Structure 1
Amino acid sequence: MNKVTASGNDGLWARIRGALGRGADAHVPAYGQAAIARNPNKKSRLAQRIDEEMRRSWTHAAERNVSLCVVSLEMDGYAEYFAAYGRDAVEDSLETLEGTITALLPRETDRCLRNGQSGFLLVLPDMPALMARDLASRIAVAVRREGLANRESHAGQVTLSTGIAVANPQGNLDRAVLDAASQAVKKAQRRGLARLEVIDLRGRNERQRKAA
């Protein structure tokens, strides 16, 4: 009877054990966690910047009785891209994407914020939903023109999917709009590459005011 062992092929079995160990957490790969561990304060700084921008923009929109759009952009197939190209190459690509997005923002006060390991967040007060959709479309075109190679993608290059949440701010900051943008981009990615999904919370806000 033949007996299969890992002798002489420890590296392969280590990789297999590592992949199995990640299981349901494959979307946050071990190498990504290691990168965060090397810079434990980075995540908290990013979260603080997002919180500050959300509060400033929410107050601005509420005081002027205008809408607020939150745009979440996420690199498609991040885990596979990281595994194929490595941390430094991925970071270079993210920096290029950040510059591409920033160049298209319509106002000097608009900021492109890094969000998590592989995404960006735009918090846009006083921007109608149609204008936010147009901005997302122009960003997608600009990203395609960059032509950042990605052999792990069916597109052959890096792509971003986009989720937009729009609300009419009233009172104190409601983080539901941030959660909605995150849900929208996840839904977009389930549909394919470089997709767009919009969640409009304005009807919900109106119902809540009537109920109050």
Structure 2
Amino acid sequence: MKREEVALEFRRKVLHIFFGLFLALAILGGVPLLALLLAAVLFIIASALYRLGLLPFFGVFFDVFEREHERRRVPGNAVIQGLFGAALALWLFGVVPAAAGMLVLAVGDAVAVWGGLAFGHYTFPWNRQKHIEGRLLGVLLSAIALLLFYPFWKAVVAATIALLIESIPLRLGPLKIDDNLTVPLAAALILSLLPV
């Protein structure tokens, strides 16, 4: 990976951590489901206006934090899907599982990428861009973060499944289904299904 790509991934994952932690705290603080959905809709509108050239100042954000192919397709797609992921997790599973799902996204996904870049040698057969070592580190640190709410074994199972799902490239027609949608939903689902 080139130096500028590594720098971009570092910036993206720092934003990822702050975004995920912010949403986790907002959910724990009682943010209404409607507010999350409204934020997603507003970001969709802003993305469309940016593509039409009507909000050029958004380009600063997209240039700093998004990969070029993402900017061309749906600018802000990761944020949009993250807001929908938080909203769906909150609606389907409640406050604590949704907040925990956002913690797995914030901590696990970022650490998995950084760990993969730093220590990665082995990749998944279904996705040669994702390193197994990074996912293991992401699972461990996610599980530690989830100790705020769940026993360690439950946190490990949920983080493992969520980060395995994150490693699978998913699409809905031409649209890539972002891990910001799948990770919080998968983690919240597993945490809701596992016995106490």
Report which of the two structures shows the higher radius of gyration computed on alpha carbons. Answer: 1
TM value normalised by structure 1: 0.32
Kindly indicate which of the two structures has a greater share of residues assigned to strand. Answer: 1
Kindly indicate which of the two structures has a greater share of residues assigned to helix. Answer: 2
